[in-house]
């Protein structure tokens, strides 16, 4: 670490301590940051985040912002323009994992591995207002996250706040053998285990392989998530949206588990020379009726 890094760190710490003295709960201690850190750690423990794989963002509520604005940097970063503006997110703040950061390190040092960005008054640029210590920047998938936040905020009338991207093995494996077709993938998952249609009643989107981090995959993801809380990226992973960390994590977990059951079923059935037994369409309709699920009917025969 060079002189300027240490000097900056001492300065940051001094500012943070001084601010803490007047305004109470540090950013790391806020409930939404704790929930975010737990999401990252849970995903790491599940084995969904090899190396720097995966990322997450959370759209702060006005109360969240109020609780930590006094800890924001006195001098935020300069504004960085977005390739596609997000007018319905104008002025909002997002907690995000840092580009290149490892999910396994988030819990040890949140202020380095995550940070808060604020969008400008037109939703066309962002700047860092907290965290990303040591020169970090938000995740390379920020375009996908923000575009998905845009559509999920509208679709859920402001309820959805969490977007979670992970690389669960069974989801990736499923996408390596099934075509990138939302109906085919959704039917495979729904029919593999009862809980899946309850977790994702609108099914899952399915995109073909694309270069990650770009605007093209961001647009396609946002389009696929207008009416759904999950979208699989072939040969890559999945995006899950939720009102809470539990919801986003639970969606990822349920889809990954259904993918695992689908895969294991096929392997064993092939070894035995039998056909897999699946939940029939009438059974899926009955689950939807029993649990009052607003399912996507077009997924059924
Ligand atoms: O953050 O998962 O898609 C690394 C990635 C890119
Ligand atoms: Zn990824």
Residue with the two structure tokens 């039917």: 187
Say whether pLDDT at 253 is over 80.
yes
Q: Summarize the confidence of residues 258-283 as an average pLDDT.
A: 98
Identify the nearest ligand to the CA of 54 by its number. 1
Give the model confidence (pLDDT) of 208-243 as tens digits: 999 999 999 999 999 999 999 999 999 999 999 999
Distances (CA, A) of 80 to 54, 118, 143: 22, 10, 12
- In ligand 1, the atom with minimum distance to the C-alpha of 167 is 2
Question: What integer pLDDT is reported at residue 7 of this predicted model?
Answer: 42
Catalytic, out of 92, 141, 256, 260: 141
- C-alpha 268/C-alpha 265 separation (Å) is 5
Identify the nearest ligand to the CA of 140 by its number. 1
Q: Summarize the confidence of residues 283-298 as an average pLDDT.
A: 98
Q: Report yes or no: 131 and 72 within 8 Å, Cβ to Cβ.
A: no
Ligand 1 is surrounded, with C-beta below 6 A, by 52-55, 139-141, 165, 212
Say whether pLDDT at 127 is over 60.
yes
- In ligand 1, the atom with minimum distance to the C-alpha of 212 is 3
Distance 233 CA to ligand 2 centre (A): 9
141 catalytic per annotation: yes
- In ligand 1, the atom with minimum distance to the C-alpha of 97 is 1
Distance 52 CA to ligand 1 centre (A): 7
Distance 49 CA to ligand 1 centre (A): 9
Query: 234-262 burial string, b = 16+ CB within 10 Å, else e?
Result: bebbbbbbbebbebbbebbbbbbbbbbbb
- In ligand 1, the atom with minimum distance to the C-alpha of 100 is 1
- C-alpha 82/C-alpha 149 separation (Å) is 14
Q: Summarize the confidence of residues 193-216 as an average pLDDT.
A: 97
Please list the residues that pair with 80 across neighbouring strands: 126
C-alpha closest to that of 168 among 117, 233, 212, 121 = 233
Alpha carbon 239 to chain centroid, angstroms = 6
Give the model confidence (pLDDT) of 147-162 as tens digits: 999 999 999 999 999 9
Out of 148, 212, 220, mutate this one to test ligand 1's pocket (max ligand atoms within 8 Å of CB): namely 212
Residue whose CA is closest, atom 4 of ligand 1? 53
Distance 40 CA to ligand 2 centre (A): 14
Question: What integer pLDDT is reported at residue 25 of this predicted model?
Answer: 84
Q: Summarize the confidence of residues 66-72 as an average pLDDT.
A: 96
Question: What integer pLDDT is reported at residue 2 of this predicted model?
Answer: 36
Out of 51, 55, 96, mutate this one to test ligand 1's pocket (max ligand atoms within 8 Å of CB): namely 55
Question: What integer pLDDT is reported at residue 17 of this predicted model?
Answer: 46
Question: What integer pLDDT is reported at residue 21 of this predicted model?
Answer: 46
Give the model confidence (pLDDT) of 76-90 as tens digits: 999 999 999 999 999
Say whether pLDDT at 8 is over 80.
no
Question: What integer pLDDT is reported at residue 24 of this predicted model?
Answer: 61
- C-alpha 104/C-alpha 236 separation (Å) is 19
Identify the nearest ligand to the CA of 52 by its number. 1
Could you count the other beta carbons within 10 Å of the beta carbon of residue 175?
A: 23
Out of 43, 100, 140, 218, mutate this one to test ligand 1's pocket (max ligand atoms within 8 Å of CB): namely 140
How much of the chain exceeds pLDDT 70, in percent?
92
- C-alpha 185/C-alpha 203 separation (Å) is 8
- C-alpha 210/C-alpha 137 separation (Å) is 23
Could you count the other beta carbons within 10 Å of the beta carbon of residue 153?
A: 19
């Amino acid at each position: 670490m060079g002189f300027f890094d240490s000097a900056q760190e001492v300065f940051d710490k001094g500012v943070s301590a001084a601010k803490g003295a007047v305004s109470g709960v540090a950013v790391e201690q806020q409930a939404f940051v704790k929930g975010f850190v737990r999401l990252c750690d849970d995903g790491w423990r599940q084995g969904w985040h090899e190396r720097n794989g995966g990322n997450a963002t959370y759209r702060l509520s006005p109360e969240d912002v109020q609780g930590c604005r006094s800890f924001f940097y006195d001098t935020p970063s300069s504004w960085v323009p977005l390739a596609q503006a997000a007018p319905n997110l104008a002025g909002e703040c997002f907690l995000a994992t840092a580009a290149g950061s490892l999910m396994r390190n988030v819990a040890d040092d949140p202020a380095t591995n995550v940070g808060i960005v604020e969008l400008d008054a037109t939703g066309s640029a962002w700047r860092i207002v907290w965290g990303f210590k040591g020169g970090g920047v938000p995740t390379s998938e920020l375009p996908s996250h923000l575009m998905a936040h845009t559509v999920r905020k509208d679709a859920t009338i402001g309820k959805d706040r969490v977007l979670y991207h992970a690389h669960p093995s069974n989801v990736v494996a499923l996408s390596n053998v099934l075509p990138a077709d939302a109906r085919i993938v959704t039917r495979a998952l729904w029919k593999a285990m009862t809980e899946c249609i309850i977790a994702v009643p609108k099914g899952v989107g399915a995109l073909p392989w694309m270069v990650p981090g770009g605007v093209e995959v961001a647009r396609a993801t946002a389009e696929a998530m207008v009416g759904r809380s999950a979208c699989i990226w072939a040969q890559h992973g999945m995006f899950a949206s939720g009102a809470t960390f539990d919801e986003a994590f639970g969606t990822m977990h349920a889809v990954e588990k259904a993918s695992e059951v689908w895969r294991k079923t096929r392997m064993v059935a092939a070894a035995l020379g039998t056909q897999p037994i699946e939940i029939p369409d009438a059974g899926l309709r009955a689950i939807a009726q029993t649990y009052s699920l607003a399912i996507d009917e077009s997924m059924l025969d």
